Structure 1
Amino acid sequence: MPAMPDRASAPRVAAIVGPYASGKTTLMESLLLATEAIHRKGTVPEHSTVGDASPEAREREMTVEVNVAQTSYLGGPWTFLDCPGSVEFLQDTYNALAVADVVVVVCEPDPARAVMLTPLLNFLDRRGIPHLIFINKMESADASVRAMIEALQAVSARPLIAREIPIREGDKVVGYVDLVSERAYRYQAGQPSALIQIPEDLQDRKSEERQALLEHLADFDDALLEELLADTTPPKEEVYQALAKDLSEDLLVPVFFGSALQDSGVRRLLKALRHEAPTLDETRARLGLEGPGPVVQIFKTHHAEHVGKLSLARVWTSGLKDGASLNGDKVTGLYAFPAGAQTKISEVPAGAIVGIGRLENQATGALLNGESAADAPPTLTSLFALALRTRKQGDDVKLTAALGKLCEEDPSLRLEMNTETGELLLWGQGDIHLQVALARLARQFHVEVDVSRPQVPYKETIRAAVSQQGRFKRQSGGHGQFGDVHLTIAPRPRGAGFEFTDTITGGVVPKQYIPAVEHGVTEYLARGPLGFPVVDIVVTLTDGSYHVVDSSEQAFRSAAQLAMREGMPKGDPVLLEPILTVEISVPTEATSRAQRALSTRRGQILGFMPKEGWAGWDVVQGYLPQAEMHDLIVEIRSATMGVGTFQWTFDHLQEVTGRAAEEVVEARKAFLAG
């Protein structure tokens, strides 16, 4: 086997991910303590950690954006990216994973919660991102490590291999046996683990688990396979090299365990990262990065008062100096993040994470001065919206500008001015996601808003054809106003839209006035007899009369509006509500609950099928009235430990009758009157 590359030669980046409350932020704190980047370990309850420093994160005691902390270990510079665990903030996580050499997936030792890792592991597996698993909170574990690995294997497309087995005293894990070095260690609070003899009662299990590890490695290494078939014990150095190679190529997933709270197993994790995680060159090769350099990839954007825009990026090639040009923007300030602090620097080497000032024209996710064979991180579909109104008069322009900056910081936020309802909508991944955004809006940009549930863009149409005359006549000295039209108003098939025609002969309505009639009709369509926009009708101008002196375009436009206003209520008007096509993705055990969520919301279930590429998941398809969509994501996540989601598109308009329609119309009248 060829010699391994020097894994301390260039800065490396490890992203720390995992479900909400798995202990990611505490693990990063422990890693920084073990590498002496900090000398006192903070805690989440005390709001003293390096990560989660923002008021929004500390108020909720959860990671709401990616946190950056830089340190070094055994001569190698490292950047740790503590990523949000809640699915509502996955956009930041996905963007950070795009610049990582390796990913540490943190989970709790509860097999029943293994399903919570499915979205993360699926994302990593599909993109071939090297990752390992750290089973955290072993200080309170009831389940066995073996049971946890089996549960995790069910949601991982890559084979999982145990790198160590636990040493227990009673119901407590007090150390581990390393399956490659075949050495045993006992945890020591605040210190490196102590080397001890392998307990006799673990000798057989150690041999069994080590053999399984070697067999997994041999699946990807012919030389190692030949050694195993010949009953030859491979040298430990060969095993380490095979592990590093297979991790770099995302062929398998090593599994470690410990307790971030008690700093147990953290130094073992660091050693694995140091000796086995991919190098900068290996990551560049995986991503197919090319370019004249410096090639820079932005994974996060911040807007700070009095400071301006700061882009967090990874420098892939050539290094970067202050004052350099990136895609036409001049770099104005470079910043490093030792232990989470921000310090100004003059240049940064290739491989490092850096903050770059004033890249005004560069967006989150942009790859500057280069190209990559890898797909850009996806932008998450909007699932939840709130309507916003400024509390202070005159803040509308300020609000729009501030929301634009928030959407640049987090691309999974989306701003929409709904032309049908006249509301300003902020879309996101859920209620907490939007509440955090609005808290930032008030803190960073000093704009406070009131929020409400968005209005549903109902429409209306008619069921019966009707003929109606509209005669507009006004005399006020001098020239008067006169216009006379006969209109036939008829329904069209659903989705056919509006059409205007005329059957005028003999010049009873002069040609120059016919466009004015159409204009008057289309102006009326903005609000029908039920108070909503009118769709799916055809209006035909069949007859009329004019006055050679008093007729005008304005008179015929007014006559057309009058005919529509008097004729539409006679055509049996009916309310139409928007119906969405939804696809709800859930673990199989939650499929029936997803179906029930649709049926109890007046939805129509169309069927369900296995989710492609997601073992143990289903997609439930159906129609759902948009009026029932608002908090659907809350119910779905509640039924799936937070991992379920859905996609939606508008499909068609559907009639609403009875008491439901009456309530909507009454509410609309009250809204228009107020």
Structure 2
Amino acid sequence: MGNQKPGGPRNVAIIGPYTSGKTTLLESILFATGKIDRKGSVTGGNSVGDSAVEARARQMGVEVNVATTEYLGDSLTFLDCPGSVEFLQESLNVLVGVDAAILVCEPEPDKTIAMMPLFKYLEDAGVPAFIFVNKIDKASGLVRELHSALQEACGRPLVLRQVPILRNGIVTGYVDLASERSYVYKEGNASQIVDLPPEMAEEKGEHRFAMLEQLADFDDHLMEELLEDIEPSRDEVYEQLASDLERAVIYPVFLGSAEHDNGIHRLLKALRHEVPEASVAARRMGAPEDPACAQVLKNYMTQHGGKLSLVRVWSGSLKDGVTLNGERVGGMFRLFGNQQEKVPSAGAGEIVALGRLDGARTGDTLSEAGDIRLPRAPSLEPVYGLAINASNRNDEVKLSGALGKLLDEDPSLRLHHDPDVHQMILWGQGEMHLKVSFDRLASKHGISVDSERPRVAYKEAIRKPVKQHGRYKRQTGGHGQFGDVHLEIRPLPRGSGFVFEDKIVGGAVPRQFIPAVEAGVRDYLSRGPLGFPVVDLAVTLVDGQFHTVDSSEMSFKTAGRLAMSEGMPKCSPVLLEPIYKVEVASPQAATSKVNGILSSRRGQILGFDARPGWDGWDVVSAMLPQAELQDLIVELRSVTLGAGSFTMEFDHLQELSGRLADQAIEQQGVQAAT
């Protein structure tokens, strides 16, 4: 190789779809580098990654896990990210602070659609990345087909670095196209070099020339050599591969099987020689050379040690006890799964956890002056919500503080207090995401919660005007109570809200009592004849009577409420349901299925257009009732292998009649009775 091998600590994110084998790859890397003497497994619950209680229980990643190891004297820190799309925000937050990523995938062309969002972020952020095709020993198709499917899913050229060697339809090794050497896999050990099978000579030549052609697109000197039939030196090829990776213009593709330790050493050598040194990512992020600064990639709420903030040090050196953004660091640690090793300091390029930074939020830039702001990861919009409350009423006060810590640890959650339905709704990226959050509330904060579907914020309005008289008269031993009003109630155009007017002449109702009439009317509007808040109407006070002794604000407030309760049922009340503007983003191959899903949910499709900046994607716009939104994301992900998503925004209220209206009114009556 060339003489410009990168040095210093470097950080690599391991990302990829669910079941692709990321955590198994991390175990294999740690075993190959001698960091662990025995590999754990996800199913066995003893892996370095997926170390959280919630991850162990589900045998799947739910948060970022960190492990640092050394390979031939170089320090490499790996950040194992969860694969489920419901925890995608964890990956996006981490990719801000790494020098490169390994995108792990299975050798199944049909599953490449699930990688599109990850490809898009890598390309938008300019993060260098390798592709590791895992489980190659179980491949059922041609690598060429997988290569084509992957290339359709991403925006950078894929540079195939290895060609599989097949024996009886099983991958037993590979030809390295850069070194032109052939290897056979050895279980638990580095691959063994062998002679190139004679029948593969032509195929190897074709693939190597294709690789060189791709590299030549980014280097004029290499292009000239190819045009003149000059074979480039091995060092030149490796240097070009490293340069193209650093500039994030290609995806080098490696093959292997993490379960059997196949292809791991070759991948490690590529990481050691080709992952750019830390200063490259610092320049990409615009980090200053001075003063020292770091950025929060993830917060952990530990049961006994309090809060830990995982940070990437961008420049300078940080020492334990330093004050960052006005808070003193209370402990500095290097993480290895769920283990913590105390360290006194950390330099540029290192990833460590800092203790007791209560004010630090994911994405924050930390410095002694606290005046540096580096780019953050994009925030995913929530797509699934559940109304929650403490199972034990004694925990209601504690729940608020616990939820604050939960949102600090997982910023992809949102908490919304809905005044229309009087519910506290926790929003996230899916049902599993929220279930994991509930488990954390129980395990870390000792609070159990009950959850249910959020109620729909139905309203009601009226169709026709009515004039109504309301009188409240009560005589007791002393002063009595007397209030008498005449109201005109009429509908207003949709979206007008509520208007109160008075046309009292001659003092029929004294001025000081008119606000009380309005208050009585407003009191009634919180629950109309159908059981829902009333909107879009005008109420006019046109006449009334009073008693010099017995009239009071309370008596006129009651008279106003009585007039409304008697008059509103005569106004032909109608139920209104909230309609949301929904925009669904999905690969074009799924657009027709998306249209079908929206139509089946009473959606009014407005049209579709190409998704800006996403080749091969559409955005379908539609109007959809709130009642149909609850599990929309589940169906969308089903037809897009997890790649589809949507945004929603309230648009208007629309009349609802028939069986659905009857069911809503009946349900509201049941809730009111309980």
Question: Same fold judged by TM-score > 0.5?
Answer: yes
- Contact 1:69 1:340 (8 Å CA) reproduced: no
1:128-527 correspondence runs (5 A): 128-290=126-288, 292-338=290-336, 341-369=339-367, 375-527=375-527
Gaps of 5+ in 1: none
Letter in 2 for 1:100: V
What is the DSSP-based 3-state SS (H/G/I as helix, E as strand, rest coil) of the residue aligned with 2:397? Answer: helix
Comparing 153-162 with 517-526, greater Cα deviation is found at 517-526
Counterpart of 2:656? Answer: 656
Counterpart of 1:646? Answer: 646
What is the DSSP-based 3-state SS (H/G/I as helix, E as strand, rest coil) of the residue aligned with 1:151? Answer: helix
Aligned length: 672
What is the DSSP-based 3-state SS (H/G/I as helix, E as strand, rest coil) of the residue aligned with 2:339? Answer: coil
Letter in 2 for 1:135: V
Distance 2:107 2:88 in 1: 22
Distance 2:104 2:36 in 1: 21
Distance 2:624 2:199 in 1: 59
Letter in 1 for 2:206: E
**TM superposition shift of 1:374:** 6.4
Counterpart of 1:605? Answer: 605
Counterpart of 2:566? Answer: 566
Distance 1:375 1:651 in 2: 32
- Contact 1:298 1:365 (8 Å CA) reproduced: yes
1:469-520 CA-to-partner distances (Å, cap 9, x unmatched) read 2212222233222222211111111111111111222222222222222222
**TM superposition shift of 1:303:** 1.2
- Contact 2:13 2:101 (8 Å CA) reproduced: yes
**TM superposition shift of 1:653:** 0.6
Going from structure 1 to structure 2, the CA distance change for 1:13 and 1:372 (only over 3 Å counts) comes to farther
Counterpart of 1:96? Answer: 94
Distance 2:189 2:497 in 1: 73
What is the DSSP-based 3-state SS (H/G/I as helix, E as strand, rest coil) of the residue aligned with 1:661? Answer: helix
Q: TM-score, normalised by structure 1?
A: 0.97
Distance 1:438 1:351 in 2: 35
- Contact 1:386 1:452 (8 Å CA) reproduced: yes
Going from structure 1 to structure 2, the CA distance change for 1:339 and 1:300 (only over 3 Å counts) comes to closer
- Contact 2:89 2:379 (8 Å CA) reproduced: yes
Distance 2:4 2:358 in 1: 38
Comparing 558-567 with 547-556, greater Cα deviation is found at 547-556
Letter in 1 for 2:459: K
- Contact 1:18 1:117 (8 Å CA) reproduced: yes
Distance 2:137 2:371 in 1: 46
Sequence identity (%): 52
**TM superposition shift of 1:375:** 3.7
Counterpart of 1:77? Answer: 75
Distance 1:363 1:22 in 2: 30
1:89-108 CA-to-partner distances (Å, cap 9, x unmatched) read 01111101111110100000
**TM superposition shift of 1:4:** 6.3
1:510-659 correspondence runs (5 A): 510-659=510-659
Distance 2:3 2:116 in 1: 32
Counterpart of 2:107? Answer: 109
Comparing 632-641 with 456-465, greater Cα deviation is found at 632-641
Going from structure 1 to structure 2, the CA distance change for 1:340 and 1:149 (only over 3 Å counts) comes to farther
Going from structure 1 to structure 2, the CA distance change for 1:213 and 1:371 (only over 3 Å counts) comes to farther
- Contact 1:188 1:194 (8 Å CA) reproduced: yes
- Contact 2:366 2:372 (8 Å CA) reproduced: no
**TM superposition shift of 1:371:** 7.6
- Contact 1:7 1:76 (8 Å CA) reproduced: no
Distance 1:605 1:540 in 2: 40
What is the DSSP-based 3-state SS (H/G/I as helix, E as strand, rest coil) of the residue aligned with 1:38? Answer: coil
Going from structure 1 to structure 2, the CA distance change for 1:572 and 1:364 (only over 3 Å counts) comes to same
- Contact 1:37 1:338 (8 Å CA) reproduced: no
Aligned-residue Cα RMSD (Å) equals: 1.6
1:169-189 CA-to-partner distances (Å, cap 9, x unmatched) read 121212111111111122222
Distance 1:6 1:469 in 2: 90
Distance 1:5 1:207 in 2: 28
**TM superposition shift of 1:249:** 1.1
- Contact 1:290 1:371 (8 Å CA) reproduced: no
Distance 1:642 1:525 in 2: 43
Going from structure 1 to structure 2, the CA distance change for 1:590 and 1:323 (only over 3 Å counts) comes to same
- Contact 1:293 1:317 (8 Å CA) reproduced: yes
Going from structure 1 to structure 2, the CA distance change for 1:5 and 1:358 (only over 3 Å counts) comes to farther
Distance 2:653 2:509 in 1: 35
Counterpart of 1:7? Answer: 6
Letter in 2 for 1:405: K
Going from structure 1 to structure 2, the CA distance change for 1:151 and 1:332 (only over 3 Å counts) comes to same
Letter in 2 for 1:380: L
Distance 2:527 2:336 in 1: 60
Question: Which of 106, 121, 124 does residue 123 from structure 1 map onto?
Answer: 121
What is the DSSP-based 3-state SS (H/G/I as helix, E as strand, rest coil) of the residue aligned with 2:640? Answer: coil
- Contact 1:52 1:64 (8 Å CA) reproduced: yes
- Contact 1:288 1:372 (8 Å CA) reproduced: no
Comparing 135-144 with 193-202, greater Cα deviation is found at 193-202
What is the DSSP-based 3-state SS (H/G/I as helix, E as strand, rest coil) of the residue aligned with 1:488? Answer: strand
**TM superposition shift of 1:410:** 0.8
Letter in 2 for 1:598: L
Distance 1:7 1:177 in 2: 25
Letter in 2 for 1:259: S
Comparing 146-155 with 221-230, greater Cα deviation is found at 221-230
Q: Which runs of 4+ in 1 moved over 6 A?
A: 370-374
Going from structure 1 to structure 2, the CA distance change for 1:549 and 1:331 (only over 3 Å counts) comes to same
Distance 2:371 2:19 in 1: 37
Letter in 2 for 1:376: R
- Contact 2:48 2:336 (8 Å CA) reproduced: no
What is the DSSP-based 3-state SS (H/G/I as helix, E as strand, rest coil) of the residue aligned with 1:394? Answer: helix
Distance 1:219 1:422 in 2: 60
Distance 1:655 1:406 in 2: 38
- Contact 2:334 2:353 (8 Å CA) reproduced: yes
1:104-147 CA-to-partner distances (Å, cap 9, x unmatched) read 00000011111111111111112211111000001111112222
Distance 2:371 2:118 in 1: 25
Question: Which of 61, 64, 70 does residue 62 from structure 2 map onto?
Answer: 64
What is the DSSP-based 3-state SS (H/G/I as helix, E as strand, rest coil) of the residue aligned with 1:100? Answer: coil
1:597-639 CA-to-partner distances (Å, cap 9, x unmatched) read 1111111122222222223322222111111111111111112
